[in-house]
Amino acid sequence: MQQYTEKIHATRLLKMLEKKDPCVCCPAALQFNGGAAAGEMWSKSYEFSPCDICREFLGFSDRYDCPCYHLGGKDAIKHTWIQLEEKGYLE
């Protein structure tokens, strides 16, 4: 199994954001299934969980829930696009 990294997270975010309703999805879950465990398809030897990578990507230092729940769907998507752009993943 592969380790979940910020680069993988960004790549999967871009694919997830193409979906009709991305806020019912999870970039780290199998088939982007928001109801599935985010760590199922990733190596268990990583320092951070996929959820930690996601929260750090958005600049959350505290243990918030999923960004879609914490920020609300539209705000989470907007914040995600801003971070993708600022971190150079939209080039």
pLDDT, one tens digit per residue, over 60-84 is 876 667 777 778 888 888 999 999 9
Q: Which of 79, 33, 39, 19 is nearest to 87 (CA)?
A: 79
Residue 1 lies in a domain: no
Residue with tokens 């465990």: 37
The domain containing residue 75 runs over which residues?
6-86
Task: Compute the distance between CA of residue 45 and CA of residue 78 in angstroms, rounded to an integer.
Answer: 31
Cα 42 → chain centroid: 13
| 36-61 residue pLDDT tens | 888 888 886 656 788 888 888 988 87
Report pLDDT for 91: 76
In the chain, the number of structural domains is 1
- Look at residue 34 and tell me if it is in a domain: yes
Is 44 part of any domain? yes
The backbone torsions φ and ψ at residue 66, rounded to the nearest 5 degrees and listed phi first, read -50, 135
- pLDDT, residue 17, reads 93
Residue 54 lies in a domain: yes
